[in-house]
Amino acid sequence: MSAVQEPEFAALSRMRAVEIEKPGGPSVLRLCNRPVPQANYGDVVIKLAYAGVNRPDVMQREGNYNPPTGASLIPGLEVAGEIVALDDRVTGFSIGDKVCALVSGGGYAEYCNAPAPQVLPVPDGLTMIEAAGVPENYFTVWTNVFERGGLKQGETILIHGGSSGIGTTAIQLAHLFGATVITTAGSDEKCQACLNLGADHAINYRDQDFAEQVKKITAGDGVNLILDMVGGDYIQKNISCLALEGRLVQIAFLQPPVNEINMMPVMINRLTITGSTLRPRTIKQKGAIADQLRQQVWPLFTAGKLKILVHETFALEDANEAHRMMESSVHIGKLILDTAK
Protein backbone atom coordinates (compact mmCIF):
# COMPACT_ATOMS: atom_id res chain seq x y z
CA MET A 1 0.00 0.00 0.00
CA SER A 2 1.23 3.50 -0.80
CA ALA A 3 -0.28 6.95 -0.42
CA VAL A 4 -0.06 10.22 -2.28
CA GLN A 5 0.59 12.99 0.25
CA GLU A 6 0.86 16.75 0.33
CA PRO A 7 4.47 17.53 1.38
CA GLU A 8 3.41 19.60 4.41
CA PHE A 9 1.23 16.76 5.66
CA ALA A 10 3.93 14.17 5.03
CA ALA A 11 6.18 16.04 7.47
CA LEU A 12 3.62 15.97 10.29
CA SER A 13 3.46 13.36 13.02
CA ARG A 14 1.09 14.82 15.65
CA MET A 15 -2.12 16.84 15.74
CA ARG A 16 -4.56 18.39 18.18
CA ALA A 17 -7.73 16.46 18.91
CA VAL A 18 -10.47 16.16 21.51
CA GLU A 19 -10.74 12.94 23.48
CA ILE A 20 -13.28 11.55 25.93
CA GLU A 21 -11.34 11.14 29.18
CA LYS A 22 -14.04 8.89 30.66
CA PRO A 23 -17.81 8.54 30.29
CA GLY A 24 -19.61 11.51 31.78
CA GLY A 25 -20.74 15.08 31.27
CA PRO A 26 -19.31 17.70 28.89
CA SER A 27 -16.33 18.33 31.17
CA VAL A 28 -14.81 14.92 30.25
CA LEU A 29 -13.98 16.27 26.79
CA ARG A 30 -10.38 17.49 26.76
CA LEU A 31 -7.86 18.68 24.22
CA CYS A 32 -5.07 16.18 23.55
CA ASN A 33 -2.22 15.44 21.16
CA ARG A 34 -2.57 12.43 18.88
CA PRO A 35 -0.74 10.87 15.90
CA VAL A 36 -2.03 12.12 12.56
CA PRO A 37 -4.20 9.54 10.74
CA GLN A 38 -2.90 7.75 7.66
CA ALA A 39 -4.49 7.02 4.31
CA ASN A 40 -5.32 3.37 4.81
CA TYR A 41 -6.75 1.14 2.08
CA GLY A 42 -9.37 3.14 0.16
CA ASP A 43 -9.04 6.20 2.42
CA VAL A 44 -8.41 9.88 2.00
CA VAL A 45 -6.99 12.10 4.75
CA ILE A 46 -8.68 15.47 5.17
CA LYS A 47 -7.16 18.56 6.75
CA LEU A 48 -10.25 19.69 8.60
CA ALA A 49 -11.61 23.19 8.52
CA TYR A 50 -14.75 22.37 10.49
CA ALA A 51 -16.57 19.43 12.06
CA GLY A 52 -20.23 19.00 12.94
CA VAL A 53 -21.47 18.30 16.47
CA ASN A 54 -24.29 15.77 16.69
CA ARG A 55 -26.45 14.04 19.30
CA PRO A 56 -24.61 10.69 18.81
CA ASP A 57 -21.41 12.48 19.92
CA VAL A 58 -23.15 13.27 23.22
CA MET A 59 -24.29 9.66 23.56
CA GLN A 60 -20.73 8.45 22.93
CA ARG A 61 -19.39 10.85 25.56
CA GLU A 62 -21.92 9.48 28.04
CA GLY A 63 -20.81 5.91 27.31
CA ASN A 64 -24.05 4.96 25.57
CA TYR A 65 -22.93 4.75 21.92
CA ASN A 66 -19.58 3.08 21.40
CA PRO A 67 -17.74 3.43 18.06
CA PRO A 68 -17.81 0.43 15.71
CA THR A 69 -14.84 -1.94 15.82
CA GLY A 70 -11.82 -0.34 14.21
CA ALA A 71 -13.20 3.22 14.27
CA SER A 72 -11.39 6.12 15.91
CA LEU A 73 -12.24 6.70 19.57
CA ILE A 74 -12.13 10.44 18.91
CA PRO A 75 -15.73 11.70 18.60
CA GLY A 76 -17.09 13.42 15.51
CA LEU A 77 -19.09 11.96 12.62
CA GLU A 78 -19.01 14.65 9.92
CA VAL A 79 -16.23 16.86 8.61
CA ALA A 80 -15.30 19.34 5.91
CA GLY A 81 -11.89 20.37 4.66
CA GLU A 82 -9.20 19.72 2.06
CA ILE A 83 -7.72 16.39 0.98
CA VAL A 84 -4.01 16.20 1.91
CA ALA A 85 -3.36 12.48 1.37
CA LEU A 86 -5.05 9.53 -0.30
CA ASP A 87 -4.45 5.87 -0.94
CA ASP A 88 -3.11 5.54 -4.49
CA ARG A 89 -6.01 3.22 -5.38
CA VAL A 90 -8.57 5.95 -4.72
CA THR A 91 -10.10 7.43 -7.86
CA GLY A 92 -12.27 10.49 -8.35
CA PHE A 93 -10.42 12.66 -5.83
CA SER A 94 -7.12 14.54 -5.81
CA ILE A 95 -4.88 16.37 -3.36
CA GLY A 96 -6.37 19.79 -2.69
CA ASP A 97 -10.00 18.88 -3.33
CA LYS A 98 -12.50 20.61 -1.03
CA VAL A 99 -14.74 17.89 0.40
CA CYS A 100 -17.11 16.91 3.18
CA ALA A 101 -17.37 13.40 4.55
CA LEU A 102 -19.29 11.06 6.80
CA VAL A 103 -16.93 9.28 9.20
CA SER A 104 -17.33 6.70 11.96
CA GLY A 105 -15.25 8.80 14.37
CA GLY A 106 -12.29 11.14 14.45
CA GLY A 107 -13.98 14.42 13.51
CA TYR A 108 -12.96 16.41 16.59
CA ALA A 109 -9.40 16.84 15.34
CA GLU A 110 -7.18 18.74 12.92
CA TYR A 111 -6.96 15.78 10.50
CA CYS A 112 -9.28 12.86 9.86
CA ASN A 113 -9.24 9.91 7.47
CA ALA A 114 -12.39 8.88 5.62
CA PRO A 115 -13.31 6.02 3.29
CA ALA A 116 -13.45 7.47 -0.22
CA PRO A 117 -17.01 6.22 -0.92
CA GLN A 118 -18.24 8.35 2.02
CA VAL A 119 -16.59 11.52 0.71
CA LEU A 120 -18.45 14.10 -1.36
CA PRO A 121 -17.40 17.39 -2.95
CA VAL A 122 -18.45 20.49 -1.03
CA PRO A 123 -21.81 21.40 -2.61
CA ASP A 124 -21.77 24.42 -4.89
CA GLY A 125 -22.89 27.53 -3.06
CA LEU A 126 -22.00 26.32 0.44
CA THR A 127 -19.26 27.66 2.67
CA MET A 128 -16.92 25.21 4.37
CA ILE A 129 -18.69 25.87 7.69
CA GLU A 130 -22.03 24.94 6.14
CA ALA A 131 -20.55 21.88 4.41
CA ALA A 132 -19.45 20.49 7.79
CA GLY A 133 -23.12 20.37 8.79
CA VAL A 134 -24.21 18.32 5.77
CA PRO A 135 -23.06 14.66 5.92
CA GLU A 136 -24.53 13.19 9.13
CA ASN A 137 -27.92 14.82 8.68
CA TYR A 138 -28.30 14.30 4.95
CA PHE A 139 -27.10 10.68 4.98
CA THR A 140 -29.47 9.99 7.91
CA VAL A 141 -32.51 11.72 6.45
CA TRP A 142 -32.10 10.31 2.96
CA THR A 143 -31.80 6.69 4.07
CA ASN A 144 -34.57 6.89 6.70
CA VAL A 145 -37.14 9.17 5.09
CA PHE A 146 -36.80 8.21 1.42
CA GLU A 147 -35.30 4.70 1.43
CA ARG A 148 -36.58 3.05 4.60
CA GLY A 149 -39.62 5.30 5.06
CA GLY A 150 -40.49 5.40 1.36
CA LEU A 151 -41.84 8.96 1.35
CA LYS A 152 -43.67 9.74 -1.88
CA GLN A 153 -44.89 12.92 -3.52
CA GLY A 154 -48.32 13.85 -2.20
CA GLU A 155 -47.91 12.07 1.15
CA THR A 156 -47.90 13.72 4.57
CA ILE A 157 -44.98 13.40 6.98
CA LEU A 158 -44.70 14.27 10.67
CA ILE A 159 -41.15 15.26 11.67
CA HIS A 160 -40.34 15.53 15.34
CA GLY A 161 -37.53 17.81 16.51
CA GLY A 162 -38.06 20.13 13.57
CA SER A 163 -35.49 22.72 14.65
CA SER A 164 -32.66 20.19 15.09
CA GLY A 165 -30.09 19.46 12.40
CA ILE A 166 -32.01 16.34 11.39
CA GLY A 167 -35.32 18.18 11.55
CA THR A 168 -34.28 21.16 9.43
CA THR A 169 -32.86 18.76 6.85
CA ALA A 170 -35.93 16.52 6.76
CA ILE A 171 -38.32 19.48 6.48
CA GLN A 172 -36.53 20.91 3.46
CA LEU A 173 -36.09 17.64 1.60
CA ALA A 174 -39.64 16.42 2.25
CA HIS A 175 -41.02 19.77 1.08
CA LEU A 176 -38.89 19.82 -2.06
CA PHE A 177 -39.88 16.26 -2.95
CA GLY A 178 -43.56 17.14 -2.81
CA ALA A 179 -44.77 16.05 0.63
CA THR A 180 -46.97 17.94 3.08
CA VAL A 181 -44.84 18.58 6.17
CA ILE A 182 -46.03 18.72 9.77
CA THR A 183 -43.39 19.23 12.42
CA THR A 184 -43.01 19.68 16.17
CA ALA A 185 -40.69 22.05 18.03
CA GLY A 186 -40.32 23.42 21.55
CA SER A 187 -40.97 27.16 21.12
CA ASP A 188 -42.81 29.60 18.88
CA GLU A 189 -39.45 30.84 17.57
CA LYS A 190 -38.44 27.31 16.60
CA CYS A 191 -41.84 26.67 15.01
CA GLN A 192 -41.47 29.81 12.89
CA ALA A 193 -38.00 28.70 11.78
CA CYS A 194 -39.53 25.39 10.66
CA LEU A 195 -42.25 27.19 8.70
CA ASN A 196 -39.61 29.37 7.04
CA LEU A 197 -37.85 26.20 5.83
CA GLY A 198 -40.95 24.82 4.16
CA ALA A 199 -43.03 23.11 6.85
CA ASP A 200 -46.75 23.45 6.21
CA HIS A 201 -47.66 23.17 9.90
CA ALA A 202 -45.54 23.55 13.05
CA ILE A 203 -46.80 22.40 16.45
CA ASN A 204 -45.34 23.77 19.68
CA TYR A 205 -45.35 20.57 21.71
CA ARG A 206 -45.01 22.50 24.98
CA ASP A 207 -48.37 24.22 24.42
CA GLN A 208 -50.29 21.67 22.36
CA ASP A 209 -50.80 17.91 22.22
CA PHE A 210 -49.18 17.00 18.91
CA ALA A 211 -51.38 13.92 18.39
CA GLU A 212 -54.56 15.98 18.71
CA GLN A 213 -53.20 18.65 16.38
CA VAL A 214 -52.19 16.08 13.76
CA LYS A 215 -55.71 14.68 13.76
CA LYS A 216 -57.14 18.17 13.27
CA ILE A 217 -54.70 19.08 10.51
CA THR A 218 -55.33 15.84 8.61
CA ALA A 219 -59.10 15.82 9.25
CA GLY A 220 -58.69 12.57 11.15
CA ASP A 221 -56.86 10.73 8.37
CA GLY A 222 -53.42 10.76 10.00
CA VAL A 223 -50.00 11.00 8.39
CA ASN A 224 -48.28 8.55 6.06
CA LEU A 225 -44.85 8.73 7.65
CA ILE A 226 -43.34 9.81 10.98
CA LEU A 227 -39.65 10.49 11.60
CA ASP A 228 -39.02 10.31 15.34
CA MET A 229 -35.97 10.69 17.55
CA VAL A 230 -37.79 11.03 20.88
CA GLY A 231 -39.21 7.60 21.70
CA GLY A 232 -40.67 6.91 25.16
CA ASP A 233 -44.31 7.91 25.43
CA TYR A 234 -44.14 9.40 21.93
CA ILE A 235 -44.24 5.89 20.46
CA GLN A 236 -47.90 5.20 21.29
CA LYS A 237 -48.90 8.74 20.33
CA ASN A 238 -47.06 8.35 17.02
CA ILE A 239 -48.96 5.13 16.33
CA SER A 240 -52.22 7.02 16.90
CA CYS A 241 -51.14 9.64 14.33
CA LEU A 242 -50.51 7.20 11.48
CA ALA A 243 -52.87 6.74 8.56
CA LEU A 244 -53.79 3.37 7.12
CA GLU A 245 -50.55 1.67 5.92
CA GLY A 246 -48.55 4.38 7.70
CA ARG A 247 -44.87 4.03 8.62
CA LEU A 248 -43.01 5.05 11.78
CA VAL A 249 -39.23 5.38 11.46
CA GLN A 250 -37.33 5.59 14.76
CA ILE A 251 -33.80 7.01 14.49
CA ALA A 252 -32.91 7.90 18.11
CA PHE A 253 -34.22 8.03 21.68
CA LEU A 254 -34.23 11.15 23.84
CA GLN A 255 -36.57 9.29 26.18
CA PRO A 256 -36.03 5.69 27.32
CA PRO A 257 -36.18 3.15 24.45
CA VAL A 258 -38.19 0.67 26.55
CA ASN A 259 -41.90 1.44 26.61
CA GLU A 260 -45.14 -0.56 26.76
CA ILE A 261 -47.29 -0.06 23.66
CA ASN A 262 -50.63 -1.29 22.39
CA MET A 263 -50.02 -3.20 19.15
CA MET A 264 -53.67 -3.53 18.18
CA PRO A 265 -53.72 -0.31 16.08
CA VAL A 266 -50.61 -1.54 14.31
CA MET A 267 -52.44 -4.67 13.23
CA ILE A 268 -55.77 -3.03 12.43
CA ASN A 269 -54.23 -0.22 10.35
CA ARG A 270 -51.46 -2.36 8.84
CA LEU A 271 -48.75 -0.07 10.15
CA THR A 272 -45.00 -0.49 9.80
CA ILE A 273 -42.64 0.34 12.67
CA THR A 274 -39.00 0.38 11.69
CA GLY A 275 -35.77 2.20 12.48
CA SER A 276 -32.08 2.29 11.85
CA THR A 277 -28.69 3.59 12.90
CA LEU A 278 -26.15 4.88 10.41
CA ARG A 279 -22.79 4.49 12.12
CA PRO A 280 -22.48 0.66 12.09
CA ARG A 281 -23.32 0.33 8.38
CA THR A 282 -20.66 -0.86 5.97
CA ILE A 283 -18.62 1.45 3.76
CA LYS A 284 -20.43 -0.02 0.75
CA GLN A 285 -23.83 0.77 2.25
CA LYS A 286 -22.83 4.33 3.17
CA GLY A 287 -21.27 4.76 -0.26
CA ALA A 288 -24.58 3.84 -1.87
CA ILE A 289 -26.29 6.59 0.14
CA ALA A 290 -23.56 9.03 -0.92
CA ASP A 291 -24.23 8.16 -4.57
CA GLN A 292 -27.92 8.92 -4.13
CA LEU A 293 -27.15 12.23 -2.43
CA ARG A 294 -24.82 13.24 -5.24
CA GLN A 295 -27.52 12.45 -7.83
CA GLN A 296 -30.67 13.58 -6.05
CA VAL A 297 -29.68 16.24 -3.51
CA TRP A 298 -26.46 17.95 -4.61
CA PRO A 299 -28.26 19.58 -7.60
CA LEU A 300 -30.68 21.15 -5.10
CA PHE A 301 -27.75 22.79 -3.32
CA THR A 302 -26.45 24.07 -6.65
CA ALA A 303 -29.88 25.52 -7.39
CA GLY A 304 -29.89 27.30 -4.02
CA LYS A 305 -32.95 25.39 -2.79
CA LEU A 306 -31.40 24.00 0.42
CA LYS A 307 -30.09 25.87 3.46
CA ILE A 308 -27.76 24.79 6.24
CA LEU A 309 -28.66 26.64 9.43
CA VAL A 310 -25.55 27.12 11.57
CA HIS A 311 -26.53 28.26 15.06
CA GLU A 312 -23.05 28.70 16.53
CA THR A 313 -19.41 27.82 15.91
CA PHE A 314 -16.99 26.77 18.69
CA ALA A 315 -13.21 26.44 18.84
CA LEU A 316 -11.95 22.85 19.06
CA GLU A 317 -10.90 23.37 22.67
CA ASP A 318 -14.46 24.47 23.49
CA ALA A 319 -16.10 21.22 22.37
CA ASN A 320 -17.46 20.83 25.90
CA GLU A 321 -19.40 24.10 25.50
CA ALA A 322 -20.82 22.85 22.21
CA HIS A 323 -22.02 19.71 24.02
CA ARG A 324 -23.63 21.79 26.76
CA MET A 325 -25.55 23.73 24.14
CA MET A 326 -26.53 20.51 22.36
CA GLU A 327 -27.94 19.14 25.61
CA SER A 328 -29.82 22.37 26.34
CA SER A 329 -31.63 22.17 22.97
CA VAL A 330 -31.75 25.97 22.72
CA HIS A 331 -30.18 25.92 19.27
CA ILE A 332 -31.86 26.00 15.87
CA GLY A 333 -29.92 24.02 13.26
CA LYS A 334 -26.27 22.99 13.52
CA LEU A 335 -23.47 23.39 16.04
CA ILE A 336 -20.03 23.41 14.40
CA LEU A 337 -16.44 23.06 15.66
CA ASP A 338 -13.74 25.23 14.09
CA THR A 339 -10.97 22.62 14.08
CA ALA A 340 -8.31 25.15 13.08
CA LYS A 341 -8.80 27.19 16.29
Residue 286 domain-assigned? no
CATH code at 219? 3.40.50.720
Q: pTM of whole model > 0.85?
A: yes
User: What's the pLDDT at 256?
Assistant: 83
**Are residues 56 and 175 located together in one domain of the fold?**
no
What gap in Å lies between CA 107 and CA 52, rounded to an integer?
8
141 by DSSP, 3-state: which? Answer: helix
Q: What is the mean pLDDT of the chain?
A: 96
Residue 282 domain-assigned? no
Name the more confident of 2 and 313: 313
**Are residues 90 and 155 located together in one domain of the fold?**
no
The percent of the chain in helix, strand and coil, each rounded to the nearest 5, is 35, 30, 40
**Are residues 119 and 208 located together in one domain of the fold?**
no
Domain stops at, among 220, 252, 275: 275
Residue 241 domain-assigned? yes
168: containing domain:
138-275
**Are residues 190 and 176 located together in one domain of the fold?**
yes
**What is the average per-residue pLDDT within 131-154?**
98
**pLDDT confidence of 254, banded at 50, 70, 90?**
confident
**Are residues 178 and 72 located together in one domain of the fold?**
no
**pLDDT confidence of 149, banded at 50, 70, 90?**
very high
Domain stops at, among 275, 290, 324: 275
pLDDT, tens digit, 9 for 90 and up, residues 203-244:
999 999 999 999 999 999 999 999 999 999 999 999 999 999
Domain count of the fold of the chain: 2
Name the residue type at position 33: N
Instruction: Classify burial at 265, counting beta carbons within 10 Å of its beta carbon; exposed 0-12, middle 13-18, buried 19 or more.
Output: middle
Domain stops at, among 234, 258, 275: 275
**Are residues 144 and 266 located together in one domain of the fold?**
yes
**Are residues 102 and 122 located together in one domain of the fold?**
yes
Is residue 174 within 8 Å of residue 201, measured between CB atoms? no
**Are residues 49 and 87 located together in one domain of the fold?**
yes
**Are residues 204 and 252 located together in one domain of the fold?**
yes
**Are residues 95 and 182 located together in one domain of the fold?**
no
Burial pattern 286-312, b for ≥16 Cβ within 10 A else e, equals bbebbebbeeebbebbeeeebbbbbbe
Segment holding 7, helix H or strand E: helix 7-10
DSSP string covering 181-203, please?
A: EEEEESSHHHHHHHHHHT-SEEE
pLDDT, tens digit, 9 for 90 and up, residues 184-197:
999 999 999 999 99
Residue 280 domain-assigned? no
Lowest-confidence range among 157-166, 253-262, 265-274?
253-262
Residue 239 domain-assigned? yes
Residue 285 domain-assigned? no
pLDDT, tens digit, 9 for 90 and up, residues 255-269:
888 889 999 999 999
Residue 143 domain-assigned? yes
**Are residues 116 and 143 located together in one domain of the fold?**
no
**Are residues 235 and 330 located together in one domain of the fold?**
no
Q: Is the pLDDT of residue 1 over 70?
A: no
User: What's the pLDDT at 25?
Assistant: 98
What gap in Å lies between CA 290 and CA 282, rounded to an integer?
12
Lowest-confidence range among 48-57, 132-141, 256-265?
256-265
Is residue 112 within 8 Å of residue 75, measured between CB atoms? no
Residue 312 domain-assigned? yes
